[in-house]
Structure 1
Amino acid sequence: MAKLSERSDGEKEFEFNHRDFDRVRDLIYKRAGISLSESKQEMVYSRLARRLRATGISSFATYLNMLEREVSSPEWESFTNALTTNLTSFFREEHHFPILAEHVRKKHGAIRIWCSASSTGEEPYSIAMTVCEALGTMSPHLQVIATDIDTNVLATASKGVYSVDRVEKLSAERVRKFFLKGKGRNEGSVMVRPELRELVSFEPLNLLDERWHIQGEFDAIFCRNVMIYFDKPTQSAILKKFVPLMKSDALLFAGHSENFLYVSNDFKLRGKTVYVLASADERQKKINAHDLNKG
């Protein structure tokens, strides 16, 4: 079986065959629910080859044997982090944020929002900025809980420090209001203002865990561009667990390429990849229609 990556001298560094790739796919699916397509073989090699170098292990087979043998090994965290994709930006899928602003203006009392795939923090900070702007204060009664399976990105997010190019698409007013510009050694970077950082708490969470430590009810849940990595049974199970965590009028925000209507009876589309809880009657109608189609 051909090896997949070359060193600068043209020689392959590690052998990585299809059996190794299938084992990786099986392990990451069981651990994080991520379904890797056949087209991801090169990506998997590139990312995990770094872990072989870091651990001093000379073959993929040995590395994967170690993971299977040592189920509590700290290397599992590095393995999962390596295979997690973290594409994000401030106010990504911008059409969602005016909808959120309109929603929170109607609320009374404390506001709780869960960002369930926070990556390096741009999304939860965008949520917090939106609420501050909507309510006209830098100290709203707001709690944003931001979670991710990748502990590396959570460490970056909690610091709230970004290169200046990450905010170049924001208006000058937003940058001035919500960020501090670095000086001297920190020139070329910006830091989220402490008032905004205090509104967001970052915590590790695997959406595949049987039980989540997240409690209470939320006014909105952001679960954007993460369900695309899960198969439909996994998506359905996660959506089912969202239901008791949502207030009756809560909003669920999905990614632009995600459609939850075919995997859950619990939600109905409000529009623009924003969902609300379906009523009991609406859920039963969907169940009946599904049963008729099966018949």
Structure 2
Amino acid sequence: MAPEQQRTDLLPPDSLRSKQLGLSVSESPDLGRLGLQDSHFRMTLGELARTVIIAGGSLYYGGHLQPGGITNFLIEELHRYGRRDRPLKVCLAWTVHRAMSQDQIAEQKELLGLFGEIHFLSRDGDRLDGPVDEPVADDPSADESAHSLTGLRTYMTANTSARIVIGGKRAGFQGDMPGILEEVLFALERKQPLYLAGGFGGAALDAIRSLRPSYAEWFPPAQDAPAQDQRLLKGLERIEEAVAAEQWDGFENGLSEDENRLLAASYRPSEIAALVGRGMGRLIGA
């Protein structure tokens, strides 16, 4: 192994202190086709969380607080690493926390404890002092859901400096486009480094195929795939427009072309985490 790789594969303790990384992740529809299971997906999330948390960084994740979900999985991982300075920032869109009762919110705050904190957001994505003390509202319109989710992603992008992307739905999503694509779009507009892990397929691989087509040749589209959601196609089109306007495609992330190509295809948890750590380490040392 080259000396530089030895230096950057593992991030030194506290090297990411005060660094805030966005985590864009949701279930991929391609797991079965790739011969992978949800356990492989979650092992990768665990390795990525470990890489960032042990190096002193913080993770921003926008999701929900339902049992068995990704947020609860991340909380369980934090309990293993022992950091008690609330490194996980769980960002809740307006329509998400408005569907929760005060008792449900209190229970989740207790579960997070010293390992994380909840950021409650307004319809427009501004941080609130806390949840709204009003009756539960759990039947928002499609427009209100889309608006509040865009506000959530705007807030997370404004409060992070780089983004890790993995998986992502192509259908059955709320919003103007798949959430993964909207978060990639906002990162590109702010010229933030992207770590696009494509080995689990999904919208993350669609974004890679749009940005660097040759990186996605390992996984050709299915011949019998259903027609793609027009919102997904529009999202990919907006990503291409952002790259053209900003002259930035997110791959200026501390990794070489070969390493980014490997990250675009790998499904191995330790390899993905090592590549992300290597890229961040080089950016810090630049």
TM-score (norm 1): 0.36
| Structure with the larger RCO, 1 or 2 (CA within 8 Å, 6+ apart) | 2
Structure with the bigger percentage of strand: 1
TM-score (norm 2): 0.37
Task: Work out which of the two has the higher radius of gyration on C-alpha atoms and give 1 or 2.
Answer: 1
